[in-house]
Amino acid sequence: MIGRLEGRLFLLRPGEVVVDAGGTGYRVAVSLRTFEALAGASEGALWIHTSVRADQIALYGFQEPAELELFERLIGIAGVGPRTALAALSALSPEELAVAVESGDTRRLCKVPGIGKKTADRIVLELKGVLEAALAPPDDAHADAVSALVNLGYSERDARKAVEAAGTGQGTPLPEILRLALKTLNR
C-alpha cells in the first residue's frame, strides 16, 4: 500500500495530479482543496489512500492527514463512494464537515454533489460523535507509540486502546508510554 507520496508535480489540474516519485509518475485523484494548496508548486507531498478493486487500482491524495482520515471514514459509509467523498471534501473543509455532522445539518450536506437526503442522514447517523476525536491533533508521543506497536504486529485498534489504557498524560516520554502499553497488551 502507498501511504504517502512526495516528489515533483508533473501534472496538476483540478481533481487530479501526477506526482513523479523516484522516476515513476503516480496519477492521484485529489479534492479541490488539495489542488488549490498545490497550485503553483513544483513539488509536493500527499497522504494517500490506495483503493484496490478487481478492475483498477486508484490513488486518492490529501494535503493533510485529517482530510485523509475523513475521506476514509466517509467511504466506509454505505452509499458514499470515493467520488462523493472527494466532492464533500472539495465543498467543505474537514472542520466544516465535522460541524455539519455534529449539528445534524443535513441540508448543508445535501448541497454537496452526489449527496441526497438519505445519504446525508446516513452520514450524520454514522459519524456523529466520531469526527471530533478523529480530527483532533494527537499527542505526538502517543501517536508514535501507536505507530511503534503497529510495527510490532499489533492491530491499530488494539494499539490505540493500549496507549489510551496506559493513562499517560501529555509530556510523558515515549519509552514510558510504550512500556505501559505493552504491559497492558501482554495481560
Q: What is the pLDDT of residue 19?
A: 95
Q: Encode pLDDT of 72-86 as tens digits.
A: 999 999 989 999 999
Q: In which band, very low, low, confident or very high, does the pLDDT at 139 lie, cut at 50, 70 and 90?
A: low
Predicted TM-score (pTM) of the model is 0.69
Q: What is the pLDDT of residue 117?
A: 95
1 Cβ contact partners less than 8 Å away, ≥ 6 residues apart: 50
Taking the C-alpha atoms of 87, 88, 89 and 95 in order, what is their torsion angle to the nearest 10 degrees? 170
Q: Encode pLDDT of 148-179 as tens digits.
A: 888 888 888 888 888 888 777 667 888 888 88
Is residue 21 within 8 A of residue 7, CB to CB? The reply is yes
- Sketch out the chain's domains with CATH numbers: 4-62 (2.40.50.140), 65-135 (1.10.150.20), 140-185 (1.10.8)
